[in-house]
Amino acid sequence: MENNLQTICEALSNKKSVLIKVLNVRDLTSIADYFVLCSTRNQKQSQAAADEVEEKMAELGVKATRKEGYREGDWILLDFGDVIVHIFTDEERRHYDFDTLWKEAPAEEYHDEGETEK
């Protein structure tokens, strides 16, 4: 897994995000190479996860070019150019169902130990 993706997934995991999935959308859209999806229990946890991702990426010298949904916290989008992070509350993730919407994209699930499964 590429360094930025690994950093993002670890940051999300640090804040107890679950169902962390990396979708390779390079061949499906021109807006990004990867989407990172995760679920949280509530808005505060989503905000904490977004803060952690931004902090860890800043340590690598990478700043989000766009951040949306932070104040509401149900679906936070962080745009790092080639990687877009989608932090959903459980309910919002079920509602928007990106997992099905982007089912053609090769996907890897992130696990706490740093292992991935296809």
CATH of the domain at 103: 3.30.460.10
55, part of any domain: yes
* Per-residue pLDDT reduced to its tens digit, 55-93: 999 999 999 999 999 999 999 999 999 999 999 999 999
Domain containing residue 83: 3-108
How far is residue 25's CA from residue 53's CA, in Å, rounded to a whole number?
Answer: 20
116, part of any domain: no
Ramachandran angles phi, psi of 91, nearest 5°: -65, -45
How far is residue 118's CA from residue 22's CA, in Å, rounded to a whole number?
Answer: 10
pLDDT of residue 1: 60
The domain tally of the chain equals: 1
pLDDT at position 118 over 90: no
pLDDT at position 52 over 60: yes
71, part of any domain: yes
State pTM to two decimals.
Answer: 0.92
Closest alpha carbon to 52 in 98, 85, 83, 25:
85
